[in-house]
Amino acid sequence: MTFLRRTTLGTMAAALAFSLAGFSAQAQTKLRVFSGGQNQRPDLMRKLFDQYQAANPGITIDIETGGATSELQRQYLSTVLNAKDSAIDIYMIDIVNPAQYFGAGWLEPLDTYVGPAATALKPYLPVYASANVVDGKVAALPAFADAMFMYYRKDLLAKHGIAEPKTWDELSAAAKKIQATEGNANLQGLSIQGAPIEGAVCTFLLPYWGQGKEFNDAAGRLTLDKPAAVKGLGTWLGMVDAGVIKKNVAEVKTPDTVNEFKAGQAVFAINWGFAWDRFKDDADSQVKGKVGVMPLPAMAGGRSATCVGGWQWAVSAFSKHKAEAAKLVKHLASPASSKFLAVEGSLLPTYAEVYTDADVNRQAPWFKDAAAVVVAGKSRPLSKDYGQVSDIIRTTTSAILARTKTPAEGVDETEGRLRRVMR
Amino acid sequence: MSAVTGSRVAGQGLWSGPGLRLIAAGLVVFNGFFPALWILFTSLKPESELVKKPITWWPQAPSLANYVQAFTDQPLGRYLLNSAIVATLSTLLSLFVSALAAYAIARLNLRYRQAVLTTIVASSMFPLVTLLVPIFETMRALGLLNTYTALVLPYTVLNLPVCTLVLVSFFQSIPRDLENAAMIDGCTRLGALWRVVVPLAAPGVFTAGLLAFVNAWDEFLLALSLNAGATMRTVPVGIALYQGEFTFPWPIISAALIVALVPMALLIAAFQERVVGGLTQGGLKG
Amino acid sequence: MADRLPLLDRLRDPSERTLGLLLLAPAFVLLALIVVYPIGRLLWNSFFDLRLSGGGGAKFVGLDNYALVLTDQDFWNATANTLLITVITVPGALIVGLGLALLANLPFKRRWPVRLALLLPWALPLSFAGLIFAWFFHTEYGVVNDVLIRLGLEDRRDPTMWLLKPGWAMAAICLTIIWKTSSFMALILLAGLQMIPRSLYEAAEVDGATPWQQFWQVTVPMLMPSIVVALIFRTITALQTFDIPYTMTKGGPGHATQTLAMLIHATTIDYLDLGYGSTLAVCMFVMSLAVTAVYLRHIGRQAQ
């Protein structure tokens, strides 16, 4: 053979040998991701994973579902993580969980993979700089955001010539006026959640924050303003007495509010972001095209405040593939992934700039209104003992709304119990 | 003599007359069927019908859409198979082990039998939620996670107290003469157990079996923690997955519940004769 | 003393002691494999301050956890609720179960609907039974209020909020528990009824006993062993009541319907306080043992 042909053949052979060696040296890593139930859109996550797998041939990703609700997931995880199981590499956890899970030693700090907390969380919405940072370390990265919105019947407000209420008193008056004129016995003024579920923590905090008060300081110590809390809860009870909120509000859970508003049985409703699509798209929705969304009203002399929700990605402290898992998590929390989830599933973005992205706005025009709400949102108490904190707040709030305790009694009890936990 | 009037059976002459008996039957049937019927009706309704006021009982436009969705949202068929296998195996194992233990306690003159019975029953006195983590660790150490064995063994242990105690009480009510007669005829003790005592205690055996089966079928906590893989889940865990953080689709869940109840109902209907059968008539005539 | 028989002979025709050991072995092997380690861990943990929120390090505290239990308001409240539920639902389920068993034992042309109706409540998973009955008692969407309104016993504009009033919520929970567990009792009692020889009733009738007297003189005494068995398990499970109040009221309003098992669940799973949770579990065990010791002694005496 000629010299050229030999060299070409030689080069090709060498290239082939190198690529073969490359493939065999690149072991298949299987990452197992624990994502939530239906509402965390495992179908969309699967698409993200498929894209990642295509771009990273050495990785396969399996999804595991261990429980459809936060409760059941905590049940499952507390068993598996207490046993220090290494079977799962990545968890999708609620925004309230990083503090508790990191404190329990279940989450791997991501600083070595994504940089120190101050820089790693800067690109995201401000709330994550506190929610996902525990003991100065990065405990989790955001998957998608959520917040409590005030949904309302645009058509009814327009019909009665009422503007968007800016305070709770205005809202109460508007609701009463509409209820009186419409004459529908089943029409509620405002639907909120009073059952002892996680959402009840927000029910407690919304009118409290609405007065401009803070629940805890940066170090996690309790700074409860008792009269303000009593006043806040009293606002809800006042609306029950006025017939704006129904009497059995302590039985109302998140799906109940959605189903009732969807059936046209409420003028105003407080609920999470997923409800928008249900009102707009569901086949049996009576309120298609009639729904508006606005920031939560403030208390007189206070400011508007809402509860932030959403889910986070975290790496298990017991994972055998921490580096690969962290890399995947970083990708899942990137602006591209956030935009994908926003466009495909109307999941609220975790970056301010994605809210105003052209593609996103075409798919979900309401994100423009949503942005202001989410950016100004506050996080629930960040505590290593959040499980207990949440239990205390939601149980007493529900008892107050069920009128088995007066607001003063209830707030006293809440403060007493919380003092022992949030020292 | 026994075929005279139905009313003379078992000291229940109070309910003489078909009218009162029909009322009695009606009460029992209503009590047992009403919630199941409510679930059946719900499974034929769309979710929007559930917030109508006043509430509707019979579905306004019955449809099987929820059943279709129940099977497409999740592999319900696979869950049924898993539950059936786990429940059947653990029931059979439970009955076998507890029959042996019950015989030893009821018939043999062992000094420590009170302590043995107490120990077996005492194992059920701890709330399962506090035993979860160590059981999980044990199964993981044995490499049994996400297998049928992982559930069959704990379910057998969970049902051991009930089965043992039920069988002890039934074995005790059978007169010893029958076994002694069999042993004089050349049977060993174990032979007497399987050939004389167990058949005579058949109502107790089938009762214990039904209880164990239903317990194993409906168990949730262990199944959630040990068999979380999609192909190994059991029915209760699967049904809990139809809900979401913010949604609770009663119609679809109802459809899944009905589907899960059907095999149990068939099983009960098939075996209820055995529980209450006339097998005892022959042996106890004397 | 004398030469013991060779092993094989002993196995083929074992003495009572050997036979006893052989027969009990499978049960104890299973118990050892599955529950001995967990129960041991539980007892061990109860002497430590083991709170995962503090990083998970265990600190030995001896009997401090138990001392804490004595002053814990939530513990006493939960125990009171649990005992109340036990005292109401154990006799309740027995009476209803006995009634159902007797009714199901009547001769019908087609017996399977009655027998199936007897067992369906038991076949419905516990947590869903709770959710279904919570729905029945719902203020607006519940069947109970619907029927009461249609009968004119309640005002449509002001229906009773069953699950939001502590007393009514407890009543609703007890009713649901009785509904569910009476079929468990009925199943055991029905099997027991089958074991009563007809000759005893015939003899009593010949002696001129009325059906009511026959019930007390023949049925109840002969059924006593089954009754005791049914009571033992009903009591143990009553002390561990969890699913039904958890799904119906989550322990609300406030802590009015929180049982000991719910407190243990919250402590272990939500608060991640394994030390104290184990202590509470041991307390529950002691309670169960004390209550059922009486029953078990009765069974022991029967065996002699």
The domain limits of chain C are 71-303
Cβ atoms of B84 and B95 closer than 8 Å: no
Q: Considering only CB atoms, which chain A residues are within 8 Å of C251?
A: 196, 395
Tens of pLDDT, residues A74-100: 888 888 888 998 989 999 999 999 999
Residue B3, judged by CB atoms within 10 A of its CB (0-12, 13-18, 19+), counts as: exposed
Q: Is the pLDDT of residue A35 over 50?
A: yes
pLDDT at B11: 45
The confidence score (pLDDT) of residue C299 equals: 66
Regarding whether A273 and A408 lie in a shared domain, the answer is yes
CA distance C135 to C151: 19
Question: Is C132's pLDDT higher than 80?
Answer: yes
Look at residue A64 in the predicted model and tell me its pLDDT: 86
pTM of the entire predicted model? 0.91
Q: Which residues of A touch C54 (CB under 8 A)?
A: 103, 384
Q: Is B285 a residue whose pLDDT tops 60?
A: no
Instruction: Please indicate, yes or no, if residue A246 is contained in any of the structural domains.
Output: yes
Chain A CB contacts of C250 under 8 Å are 195-197, 395
Pair A54, A110 in one domain: yes
In Å, what is the CA distance from A152 to each residue of A145, A171, A258?
21, 10, 12
Q: Is residue A414 part of a domain?
A: yes
Residues of chain A with pLDDT > 70, as a percent, come to 93
Tell me if A422 sits within 8 A of A389, measured CB to CB: yes
Q: How far is C160 from chain A (nearest CA, A)?
A: 9
Q: By the CB < 8 Å criterion, does A326 face chain C?
A: no
B95-139 per-position pLDDT tens digit: 999 999 999 998 888 888 888 998 999 999 999 999 999 999 999
A405 touches chain C (CB under 8 A): yes
**Cα separation, B196 vs B280, whole angstroms:** 11
pLDDT band per the 50, 70, 90 thresholds, residue C1: very low
Q: How confident is the model at residue B24 (pLDDT cuts 50, 70, 90)?
A: confident
Angle between helices A254-262 and A274-281 (to 10 degrees): 30
Residues of chain C contacting A197 with CB distance shorter than 8 Å = 250
Give the pLDDT confidence score for residue A351 in this predicted structure.
93
Reply yes or no on whether the pLDDT at B280 is more than 50: no
- C-alpha R_g of chain A: 25
Distance from CA of A310 to the nearest CA of B (A): 11
How far is residue A134's CA from residue A95's CA, in Å, rounded to a whole number? 12
In this prediction, residue C20 carries a pLDDT of: 87
- CA–CA separation, B235 vs B230, rounded Å? 11
Residues of C in Cβ contact (< 8 Å) with B19: none
What is the C-alpha end-to-end distance of chain C, expressed in Å? 29
Same domain, A166 and A273: yes
Edge-to-edge strands, sheet with A29-35: A59-65, A29-35, A90-94, A308-315, A141-147
* Residue A290 and residue A202 share a domain: yes
Q: Quick one: A313 and A301 in the same domain? A: no
- Whether residue C200 lies within 8 A of chain A, CB to CB, comes out as no
Q: What is the pLDDT of residues C27-65, one digit of tens each?
A: 999 999 999 999 999 999 999 998 887 766 788 998 999
pLDDT given at position B15: 54
Q: Which residue of B has its CA nearest to A263?
A: B48
Tell me what the mean pLDDT of segment A265-274 comes to.
96
With cut-offs at 50, 70 and 90, classify the pLDDT of residue A33. Answer: very high
- Token pair for residue B250? 């009663």
- In a shared domain, residues A127 and A78: yes
Q: Please tell me whether residues A55 and A94 are part of one structural domain.
A: yes
A103: domain CATH number is: 3.40.190.10
Say whether pLDDT at B5 is over 50.
Answer: no
Q: How confident is the model at residue A16 (pLDDT cuts 50, 70, 90)?
A: low
Q: Which chains touch A (3 or more CB pairs under 8 A)?
A: B, C
Considering the domain boundaries, does residue A17 fall inside one? Answer: no
| Contact by Cβ (8 Å): B160, B173 | no
Residues in chain C: 304
Rg of chain B over CA atoms, in angstroms? 23
Asked whether the predicted pLDDT for residue B92 surpasses 90, the reply is yes
CB contact under 8 A, C165 and A404: yes
Residue A260 is encoded by which pair of tokens?
A: 């009732």
- A139 and A153 housed in the same domain: no
- Which among A34, A40, A62, A69 is the top mutation candidate for probing chain B, defined by the most B β-carbons within 10 Å of its own β-carbon? A69
- Pure H helices in A224-356: 226-241, 254-262, 274-281, 322-332, 335-345, 352-355
Instruction: Tell me whether A262 touches chain B (CB under 8 Å).
Output: yes
Query: Across the interface, do B246 and A40 touch by the CB < 8 Å criterion?
Result: no
Q: Which chain B residue shows the shortest CA-CA distance from A69?
A: B245
C26 touches chain A (CB under 8 A): no
CATH of domain C71-303: 1.10.3720.10
User: pLDDT over 70 for what percent of chain C?
Assistant: 92
pLDDT at A258 over 50: yes
In whole angstroms, give the CA distance from residue C10 to residue C4.
9
Check pLDDT > 80 for residue A381: yes
Using CA coordinates, name the residue in chain B closest to A37. B244
Q: Establish if A299 belongs to a structural domain.
A: yes
Kindly determine whether residue C271 and residue A385, on different chains, have CB atoms separated by under 8 Å. yes
What is the pLDDT of chain C when averaged over all its residues?
89
| Residues in chain B within 8 Å Cβ distance of C187 | 207, 210-211, 275
Nearest to A309 by CA among A272, A284, A336: A272
Query: Which among B48, B145, B245 is the nearest to A263, CB-wise?
Result: B48
Per residue in C156-170, pLDDT tens? 888 999 999 999 999
Residues of A in contact with C166 (CB under 8 A): 404
Q: Average pLDDT, stretch C171-180?
A: 97
Average pLDDT (A136-156) is: 95
With a CB-CB cutoff of 8 Å, which residues 366-385 of chain A face chain C? Answer: 384-385
| Chain B hits for A275, Cβ within 8 Å | 246
| Minimal-distance CA residue of chain A relative to B146 | A87
Q: A325-369, pLDDT tens digit by residue?
A: 999 999 999 999 999 999 999 899 999 999 989 999 998 889 988
Question: Cβ contacts of residue A53 below 8 Å, gap of 6+?
Answer: A59, A60, A61
Cβ contact, residue pair A262, B224, below 8 Å: no
Say if A23 falls within a structural domain.
no
- Look at C269 and A78 and tell me if their CB atoms are within 8 Å: yes
Strand partners, A314: A91
Q: What per-residue confidence (pLDDT) applies to C149?
A: 93
Residues A172 and A225 in one domain: yes
pLDDT, residue B194, reads 82
Please determine, for residue B42, whether its predicted confidence score (pLDDT) is greater than 70.
yes
Q: What's the confidence (pLDDT) of residue A3? A: 64
Average pLDDT of span B241-252: 91
**Would an 8 Å CB–CB cutoff place A404 in contact with chain C?**
yes
**Lookup: tokens for B284:** 């106890």
Query: A273 with A395, same domain?
Result: yes
Mean pLDDT on C9-36: 83
Tens digit of each residue's pLDDT (9 = 90 or more) over A397-416: 999 999 999 999 999 999 99
User: Given a contact as 3+ CB pairs under 8 Å, which chains touch C?
Assistant: A, B
Is A22 among the domain residues?
no
pLDDT score of C185 more than 50: yes
Mean pLDDT of B250-268: 90
Give the range of the structural domain holding residue A174, as residue numbers without chain letter: 149-305+385-421
Edge-to-edge order in the sheet of strand A149-153: A188-191, A266-271, A149-153, A291-294
Based on the structure, what is the number of domains in chain A? 2
pLDDT of residue B85: 96
Highest mean pLDDT among A362-371, B199-208, B252-261: B252-261
- Model confidence at B173, pLDDT cuts 50, 70, 90, reads confident
Looking at CA atoms only, how far is residue A62 from chain B in angstroms?
11
The half-sphere exposure of A74 on its side-chain side, counting CA atoms within 13 A, is 22
pLDDT band at C154 (very low <50, low <70, confident <90, very high): confident
**Assembly ipTM:** 0.88
Regarding whether A204 and A254 lie in a shared domain, the answer is yes
